[in-house]
């Protein structure tokens, strides 16, 4: 396999693995957060506003881990620095 083919194959596989593994943890975390928040709202409906606001902020923070993984896999597919470097070296 040539250098370019190797880089492409590894990048594609790793992009898929990154988003697959990276979304597992946040998915469990968000499910747990939402379940706890629902239980809290059911116990104290008066505090629903505060709980919902804190829930949104917490969800965004948990979700950001998945977003980082998504950004990394997007970089691997669409703006891969190693691919560009290999192309440049092959061309020049």
Q: How many chain residues interact with other proteins (CB under 8 A)?
A: 22
Alpha helices in the chain (DSSP H): 3-43, 48-78, 81-91
d(CA 68, CA 61) in angstroms, rounded, equals 11
Region near other proteins per CB under 8 A, out of 10-18, 20-28, 46-54, 83-91? 46-54
Q: Which stretch binds other proteins (CB under 8 A): 3-11, 20-28, 51-59, 83-91?
A: 51-59
Show contacts of 5-9: CB within 8 Å, 24+ apart. Answer: 7/80, 7/82, 7/83, 7/86, 8/83
- Considering only 5-13, 20-28, 54-62, 83-91, which stretch makes contact with other proteins by CB under 8 A? 54-62
Kindly tell me which residue out of 47, 56, 85, 90 binds other proteins, with binding defined by CB under 8 A: 56
Q: How far apart are the first and last CA of the chain?
A: 20
Residue number, 25 or 36, with CB nearest to other proteins: 36
């Amino acid at each position: 396999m040539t250098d370019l083919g190797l880089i492409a194959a590894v990048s594609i596989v790793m992009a898929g693995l990154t988003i697959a593994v990276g979304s597992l943890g946040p998915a469990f975390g968000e499910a747990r957060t939402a379940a706890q928040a629902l239980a809290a709202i059911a116990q104290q409906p008066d505090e629903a506003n505060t709980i919902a606001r804190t829930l949104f902020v917490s969800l965004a923070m948990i979700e950001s881990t998945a977003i980082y993984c998504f950004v990394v896999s997007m970089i691997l597919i669409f703006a891969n620095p190693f691919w560009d470097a290999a192309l440049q070296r092959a061309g020049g």
